[in-house]
A and B are shown apart, each in its own frame.
Chain A
Amino acid sequence: MSAAKRPSPSLTLLLAASAALGGQKSVRADETGSTQSVGYRFNVYDEDSFSGQPVIGSPERYHVDSQQLALNTGIGDRNTLTVDATHEVMSGSSPWYVVPGPDNKPIQVLSGATIRDHRSAVQAALTHDAGANDTTSVNASYSAERDYHAAAVGAEHATPLDPALTLAYGGSFSHDLIRPTDAELYDRIERAQKNTLSAFGGLTWVLNRSAVVESGVQINYQNGYLSDPYKLVTVGDDQLPDTRPDRRTEGAWLVRYRYAVTADAALHADTRVAMNSWGQHSLALEFSWYQRLGGDWQLVPGLRYYAQDSARFYAPFFAENADAYFSSDYRLGAFGAIAANLNVRKRFGHWELTAGAERYHSATSYALGSSGVPDPAVVSYTRIYAGLDFHFD
């Protein structure tokens, strides 16, 4: 009997049914196990300041402190409810517009006064397990800050096509409302809205006892006000408001691979390629290693690579422009980034402590394809977090 052959459906069913009764009783290194729990997280996000570069305005960039409370609980035998509440305090200056300096090198102008703002958000999801790995879930979320409100709903369904293959699909809709601060003072639009419609479909295939692969596609469609009301663009001698098309379609394909190397170690490898109707393409690669150590410790180091090219109507600044759209937002430019992160967890009875750090470095030289003009605003940041979870079971 060849080892590479997939097990018969009946055997797979028998094995699955008997799983709880012994043999491989230990939980895999990267499984959290379904738990009823409540948890708290504190997160600090700090962008690198513009040091050593010519800028106009305060060189300190964004800093965000956030706190999050999460609840995961069962309702009856077949339902799970998760509720997440987040509160963030943001401060710092952000890129406003770019002007050409000597030799046409771009100089970033940052918003002057540091903004101190806060954002609150809540999201909830209800999942129903109909049995035999068939699950349906609905979710809703709401986020509010001084100038931005967003509400979203979504649903998804996962069902096994055969014992080793699961199909998942779903969709979501989001409605965002923006009311920029100081609209009159800076001649910004007073209010605007945007809608996002999203759909995805994917297949998860259990290759064997140790490996699972998932592949899916996602399509997003946005319409409404998609520009950034706080950003200006240098066009010739003027600074004009950031002006982007009022619709955008994006398609993405992702592949995720999970491999249990031993009972205590697992590898996760994810890749995502995307393209959108603004002419951008992107590639993301992420690797994580889940290592269980003695004494209920777990270590998860990870590495991430991201690269994109620029939107059709992007440039740090424009000489003269007959085109309808123009933006110098660095997030529409060509750049790439590498990030390294580490998470540490320790379990004490019902409690679990988690802490971690991430260092993200981006540069236009890592861009997909040729990077064109370097954008001074590409951001690098450091993030650290810590949290505590209490597991009820």
Chain B
Amino acid sequence: MSAHVFEFSSMGCPCALHLETDDEELARRARAAVLAETDRLDRKYSHYRDDSLIARLCADAGKVVDVDEETANLLDFAAELHRQSGGLFDITAGRLTRLWDARAGRVPDAGEIAAALRVTGWHRVEWRRPRLRLPLRGMHLDLGGIVKEYAADRCAELCRAAGANAGVVDLGGDLALIGPHRDGTRWVVGIKAPRASGRAAARIDLPRGGLATSGDYERALIVDGRRYSHIVDPRSGRPVAGFASVSVVADTCLVAGAAATLAMLLGVERGGEYLSELGLPHLCVDGDGDVSGDIAN
């Protein structure tokens, strides 16, 4: 029984496809499908590319645009998350996210934050499937928190459709299960410890669906020794002071990712309550490195 590990880079992060199969042709097909799908979704939804669909939608701000079914489904999902989080989860916070991006290398001033806030707010967007209108120029959509997780699920589906039934898709730490090991045992995966690269905070076995981790360790801005999370509160314009990372296991990586992102946005106390109420296995690491959660369940 051959274990194939195929490493590649996509969506701005290191990715891997783990497959167990004796069929070389199947492994080749699965690899090709995963590469093609991550590339497709990256081209379509990356908010770092000028030629992505997202970029074009933002350039068309003010006009009514008809979006395709896949985009419509993602926007519906984002709209629902916005509603469920009381406005915290907001895909129009792209301008704000860019301000606080690690690559900018500096803390933005109050004027810049105010300007970004003026063009932020999903409640301002006119969205009636399939018609989208971003009313303000400079409004910026950022589907981070949805797309990578969606891509992981899609890749897993494509691998299954190609005939694979044992493997895991890993897109920068967001995992989607293709199927358990051939011998029936579960895949054991490591959840990275935030702020201590290379070390795993926990090793868990993945029983189903997907595992997603939302955390500030890889993309945080560090200035003068202070760490600013890249997860920004769209109402205040400032990074959330909450968990350092949250990992959630759910039936799909998408749902796991949404739950993890929402828990990060809600801060330590409300985030913890939310995760308890949700009832999904989860792991939280707070600013002091303390670990909580019942992910082993």
Contact = CB atoms under 8 A, between A and B. Distances in A.
B146 to A, nearest CB: 9
Given A7-B279, A10-B277, A10-B278, A77 B129 contact: yes
A13 B154 CA distance: 21
Given A11-B280, A17-B84, A23-B209, 5 more contacts: A13-B80, A13-B84, A18-B254, A21-B153, A22-B157
A21 B154 CA distance: 9
A321 interface: no
Given A20-B76, A21-B153, A77-B129, A15 B255 contact: yes
Interface of A: 1, 5, 7-8, 10-11, 13-15, 17-18, 20-23, 77
A17 B81 contact: yes
B73 A21 contact: yes
Contacts of A7: 279
Contacts of A11: 255, 278-280
A22 B154 contact: yes
B277 A18 contact: no
Nearest to B251: A23
Interface in B40-87: 73-74, 76-77, 80-81, 84
Contact of B279 (A1, A21, A23): A1
B274 A10 contact: yes
B77 A18 contact: yes
Given A8-B279, A13-B84, A23 B73 contact: no
B278 A8 contact: yes
The 10 tightest CB contacts between A and B, nearest first, are: A17-B80, A20-B73, A23-B252, A22-B153, A8-B279, A21-B73, A11-B278, A18-B254, A14-B255, A17-B77
B297 interface: yes
B128 interface: yes
B258 A14 contact: yes
A342 to B, nearest CB: 33
Contacts of B279: 1, 5, 7-8, 11
A162 to B, nearest CB: 14
B252 A22 contact: yes
A225 to B, nearest CB: 50
B73 A14 contact: no
Contacts of A15: 251, 255
B206 interface: no
Interface residues of B, number: 26
B84 A18 contact: no
Interface in B218-262: 251-252, 254-255, 258-259
Contacts of A23: 153, 209, 251-252, 254
B246 to A, nearest CB: 15
B122 interface: no
Contacts of A77: 128-129
B158 to A, nearest CB: 11
A21 B45 CA distance: 15
A24 B150 CA distance: 14
Contacts of B76: 17, 20
Interface string B195-220: 00000000000000100000000000
A13 B258 CA distance: 12
Interface in B117-147: 128-129
Nearest to A14: B255
A137 to B, nearest CB: 21
19 contacts: A1-B297, A5-B279, A10-B274, A11-B279, A11-B280, A14-B81, A14-B258, A14-B259, A15-B255, A18-B252, A18-B254, A18-B255, A21-B150, A21-B254, A22-B153, A22-B157, A22-B254, A23-B209, A23-B254
Contacts of A13: 80, 84
B296 to A, nearest CB: 12
A22 B152 CA distance: 11
Contact of B74 (A1, A8, A10, A21): A21
Contacts of A17: 76-77, 80-81, 84
Interface string B2-21: 00000000000000000000
A216 B49 CA distance: 55
Looking at B84, B150, B255, the one whose CB has the most chain A CB atoms below 10 A away is B255
B258 A18 contact: yes
Interface in B136-181: 150, 153-154, 157
Nearest to B258: A14
Nearest to A78: B128
B150 A22 contact: yes
Contacts of B209: 23
Contacts of A22: 150, 153-154, 157, 252, 254
Contacts of B259: 14
Contacts of A5: 279
A10 B278 CA distance: 6
Nearest to A1: B297
A21 B257 CA distance: 13
B109 to A, nearest CB: 37
A246 to B, nearest CB: 52
Looking at A11, A18, A20, A23, the one whose CB has the most chain B CB atoms below 10 A away is A18
A18 B250 CA distance: 12
A1 B276 CA distance: 12
A8 B277 contact: yes
B81 to A, nearest CB: 7
Contacts of B157: 22
Contacts of B84: 10, 13-14, 17
B276 to A, nearest CB: 9
A155 to B, nearest CB: 25
A56 to B, nearest CB: 66
Contacts of A20: 73, 76-77
Contacts of A14: 80-81, 84, 255, 258-259, 278
Looking at A5, A21, A77, the one whose CB has the most chain B CB atoms below 10 A away is A21
Contacts of A8: 277-279
A13 B80 CA distance: 8
Nearest to B279: A8
A5 B279 CA distance: 10
A373 B160 CA distance: 65
A14 B128 CA distance: 20
